[in-house]
Chains A and B, each alone.
Chain A
Amino acid sequence: MAAETLAALLLLADGRLPAGGHAHSGGLEPTVAAGGVHDIASLEEFLRGRATTSGAVAAAFAAAACAALTAGDTGRFAVLDAELDARTPSPALRATSRKLGRQLQRAMRAIRPHPCWAELGSRPHHPVVLGAAAAVSGLSPSAAALAAVHDAVAGPATAAVRLLGLDPFATHAVLARLGPLLDDVAADATRRAAGSPADLPASAAPLLDLAAERHATWEVRLFAS
């Protein structure tokens, strides 16, 4: 990665980016309620599973969207959109992905104006917008993939601190331990993003699907997902 683009990547991956992520737990809130995450060790296994499933899918789609925009092939956005729908069987998670996609699109319109924001339509999937945001920021598909998989674990880790009162240092130590895995996931996603959209990763996480559907029926939620 070129050194001059590192600042752009940090901006995109920063949890303080005002794109709605702070209110999403990535399935952690319903998983905590079901007893699936209760301490640092169970959080780490949850995040490991998330990184290699929905994180890997998001990373590949972000990388593919980044490559498509860099190549001027915005027609590919629609193909990626349909392929991502097929990889997201939970209607609650499809809705969440499109909600977060729209919020990131809104933020990026102001942060880095570009014609692609209009071309993405009114309810784009989050990884596709993230990939486009990376491209507009001058970043490579591998940076887009890394930002996506980082986002997939950093959000739930923060949510665990807020919901369970876990030690924030211990939680960040988990994120540090996951670093090599995130690098691997991003590298694999980048490789596969060069191929056909139909062959992008499609890793399933049945408990995340179930958790999202259960969460959507709750009367009171602290997190939006």
Chain B
Amino acid sequence: MLHDQNTHDRDPETDDHEHPHPHPHTDTAGVLPRTPGRGLRIGIGGPVGSGKTALVAALCRALGSEVSLAVVTNDIYTTEDADFLLRNGVLPEQRVRAVETGCCPHTAIRDDISANLEALEELEESLPGVELLLVESGGDNLTATFSRGLVHRQIYVVDVAGGDKVPRKGGPGVTRADLLVINKTDLADRVGADLSVMDRDARAQRGQLPTIFLSLTEDPGAAPVAAWVRSCLSTMD
């Protein structure tokens, strides 16, 4: 796995940080089995404006030439969003599906995942051999999380502009996501966010789970996140 200087994921063998409270590490193995010949499903969640769509576009750009990938978006989806993905991610239209969530984005990824499963299966049927399926949730609050019946792995995206207290607030996305991305680090000075506080709190909340600090303006390919996705693809076959 590629280790960026901003990558704070740790080797569990040498990790010795203090646990101020118990972590819900138990279900990270996931309940959704990998089916041979079917794609790896990665959920991307996070609050409104944290940069989920931009991260999806960056991953498409970084990985689109290496693996066959497709996107299901639960965000309020406009032609502009589609254009954004098509233009930025070089993703043909047939590789993007939009799912309406009836004003409840968390329900569609957690409580009632049937419409998302439907969209994923349609993509798998229309794109034989698709290797990676990204499910972008609609922007929600910190309590949202993906069902383990929907995705194999999930990334939770927060941004420094949301305040450096966000990791301390926790919530299932921050504490349990397989990868926490703290985005827009380039804005930290301007919004008065202390990255070291966020790092400390994220470690406390997440135990052995990795956290990546990211600035898509400085790293438009989201290299450390793309590397994490690559490692998922290679270790989860």
Contact = CB atoms under 8 A, between A and B. Distances in A.
B113 to A, nearest CB: 7
A20 B101 CA distance: 9
B141 interface: no
Interface stretch (B22-30, B75-83, B203-211): B75-83
B196 to A, nearest CB: 40
Q: Size band of the B side of the interface?
A: 10 to 19
A205 interface: no
A222 B118 contact: no
Query: Mostly helix, strand, loop or mixed at chain A's interface?
Result: loop
Contacts of A99: 118
A220 interface: yes
Interface stretch (B103-111, B167-175, B183-191): B103-111
A159 B118 CA distance: 22
Given A23-B108, A220-B77, A222-B76, A18 B114 contact: yes
Instruction: Name, among A18, A24, A25, the residue most crowded by chain B CB atoms within 10 Å (CB to CB).
Output: A18
Interface string A1-42: 000000000000000111111111100000000000000000
A116 interface: no
Chain B CB within 10 Å, residue with most, of A23, A99, A223: A23
Given A222-B102, A223-B103, A107 B114 contact: yes
Contact of A223 (B79, B102, B111, B112): B102
Summarize B's interface: helix, strand, loop or mixed: loop
Interface size class of A (residues with CB under 8 A): 20 to 34
B117 A23 contact: no
Contacts of A20: 112, 114-115, 118
B100 interface: yes
B219 to A, nearest CB: 31
B104 A22 contact: yes
A106 B113 CA distance: 11
A120 to B, nearest CB: 15
A23 B77 CA distance: 14
Nearest to A110: B149
Interface in A93-143: 99, 102-103, 106-107
Contacts of A19: 112, 114
Nearest to B102: A23
A219 B117 CA distance: 22
Contacts of B78: 219-220
B117 A25 contact: no
15 contacts: A19-B112, A22-B112, A23-B99, A23-B100, A23-B101, A23-B102, A23-B112, A103-B114, A103-B115, A107-B114, A162-B102, A162-B103, A162-B104, A222-B76, A222-B100
**What are the 6 tightest A-B residue pairs by CB atom distance, in nearest-first order?**
A23-B102, A103-B114, A18-B112, A224-B100, A162-B103, A20-B114
